[in-house]
A and B are shown apart, each in its own frame.
Chain A
Amino acid sequence: MSDFLQFVFSGLTVGAIYALVGIGFALIYNASHVINFAQGEFVMIGGMATVALIDLGVPLLPAALVAIAIAALVGVALEKLAIEPARNAGVVTLIIITIGASILVRGVVEVVLGKQFHRLPSFSGDQPILVGGATLHPQSLWIVGALVVLVVGLKLFFDRHPFGKAILATAHNRLAAQLVGIEVKTVLVASFALSAAFGAIGGILTAPLTLTQYDVGVMLGVKGFCAAILGGLGSPFGAVLGGLIVGLAEALAAGYVSSAYKDVVAFVMILLVLFFMPSGLFGTKGTERV
């Protein structure tokens, strides 16, 4: 039983990160119908920039805030400089653009900060908490707590704030949103910034547990994509569930089946879901216009 609890703890911790990345995919997809393969790089920027700033003597909180701001700026730049000029391009072209952007970002970080692994100190020490025979790293509480706060905040933002509603309206119908006076371009930029910020927060929170390096974004991006697809593309809250499911499944498989094949779990799961439920677990079925 304590084993099971242990696996659940680690699964939820990892799943929360996937969820944050997945939300990012969903936000950008909603606003622009682009799958942003540079999503993982925001996570990497968050962790790496924070580490770099702390090395310069900046305290954790301001360092983290600046890192989030940097990631958001990169997100805005990505939208303005790469996505907007290719507005009318096809799906494949847009995928390649974001992949190119991710290689570029990795390259810049590689040159500026080097290739070494970096570690961020844990926010509230490394003393594990004992719960029901299993141990819980305090950082896990930070990660899961941050996810809860961010998801509730996002929900309130979409429900209450006019700009949140504008984002939802744009996602539903771009033209109609434009007709009622919503600045669709601002919504696009804001979605990229928001999505980048979510990714960066994930990167900062997870850096104390997993180390960070210029290329950690690749696998995280792919897993976040899994989470987003599993939850039904374009549903940020579906992506949260998707992320937690992927994280839990990985941890349980690693614990009970084979830790060597833990990474396979997410992908086998996503294939099965796509084969039998092609719109994800919580997505609505689309129809093709002829």
Chain B
Amino acid sequence: MANPALGRWGGLIVLIVVVAALPLVLPNKFYYDIAVKTGLNALVCVGLNLLIGYAGQISLGHAAFFALGGYASAVLTTRYEWNGFLALGAGAVATGIVAYLVARPILRLKGHYLAMATLAFGIIVSLVLNREIWLTGGPDGITVPTLRLGDMRLRSAETWYWITGGALVVVTYLALNLIHSPSGRAIRALHGSEVAAETLGIDVARTKTMVFVLSAVIAAIAGSLFAHADRFITPNEAGFLRSVELVTMVVLGGMASTFGAIVGAALLTVLPQALAGFDEFKHIVLGAILVGTMIFLPKGLVPSLGALIRRWRR
């Protein structure tokens, strides 16, 4: 873009306008629910995009962090009767610690090995959530109480729409700031060449760990919000396919594009709902779209369309 600052904040303004205006066209609770799911997926994807798109490290296990956050909220509020917000914070901190502990050994790996290791981590978490029935309720899932703010019960789909939308705008703002800060440039340097980054004095291991932990904490917060918004969570949220779905959202929308991540999340959340009428053909369509986009628009939707618009303007 000609003026990067305009592109950066212009996108944020568009996001705020969309979030603010969307309720005008959402006819009922069902659509609000989809919007909330979209927003929460987008939240995870903005964080995951920092890791995949900017730092160039793949993770096929991020659903595990989402689920850890969600289950922390669910278990602490139901079994130990914690305050919901306290549980959310504790979940985020605990997930951050878990991410920090696995980050060092995992992030030494590259390419397919990194994919395998993150995948293995995710599957281990999902299996534990499935098996420790006394704590997690097992495969049937666990009911989560309504989140309370003082005397207010945060229950309606509209309320959750504003909570999710607000969280998305805040996290997007923080992500954009990070990307354009010195730390952000260090993160992007990793993508080009780790050796080159190291010779420039960037602490590669530390930078990678930081991005990994950050994206995990964002996923955990989204997971906690999801648990309270849906008032229910199952181990499926940690599953391999869910992790794949998250990566797909990021890649489909466009790697190294924060708004691409949001668009990808929106598309892949709304599309299956739109295809609900042709339930049988859902997977065929979804698979074909994935393969097609990756072949014809390998940079993802938003960067490819951006390039198209720029060429057209010239």
Contact = CB atoms under 8 A, between A and B. Distances in A.
Interface of A: 29, 35, 82, 85-86, 89, 91-93, 95-97, 99-108, 110-111, 218, 222, 225-226, 229, 233, 260-261, 263-264, 267-268, 270-271, 274-275, 278-279, 288, 290
Interface stretch (B22-30, B66-74, B290-298): B290-298
Contact of A290 (B58, B128, B196, B282): B196
Given A86-B298, A96-B290, A274 B247 contact: no
B105 interface: yes
Interface string B98-117: 00000001101111110111
A104 B255 contact: no
Nearest to A108: B284
Contact of B290 (A103, A218, A226): A103
Nearest to B115: A95
For the complex of A and B, 3 pairs with smallest distance between CB atoms: A104-B287, A107-B283, A100-B290
Nearest to A92: B58
Contact of B295 (A82, A110, A222, A226): A82
B131 A261 contact: yes
Given A97-B294, A264-B127, A91 B282 contact: no
B251 interface: yes
Given A85-B295, A111-B280, A278 B131 contact: no
13 contacts: A82-B291, A92-B52, A92-B58, A96-B248, A96-B290, A97-B290, A99-B248, A222-B240, A263-B123, A264-B127, A264-B128, A271-B120, A290-B196
Contacts of B241: 218
B124 interface: yes
A278 B298 CA distance: 29
Interface of B: 52, 58, 105-106, 108-113, 115-117, 119-121, 123-124, 127-128, 131, 193-196, 240-241, 244, 247-248, 251-252, 255, 280-291, 294-295, 298
Nearest to B294: A97
Contact of A267 (B110, B124, B255, B285): B124
B58 A95 contact: yes
Given A85-B295, A274-B117, A222 B111 contact: no
Nearest to B132: A260
Given A100-B290, A103-B283, A261 B298 contact: no
A271 B125 CA distance: 13
Contacts of B290: 96-97, 99-100, 103-104
Contacts of B194: 288
A100 B291 contact: yes
Given A82-B295, A89-B298, A93-B298, A107 B113 contact: no
B86 to A, nearest CB: 31
A284 B105 CA distance: 19
Contacts of B252: 96
Interface centre among B123, B240, B241 (most CB of A within 10 A): B123
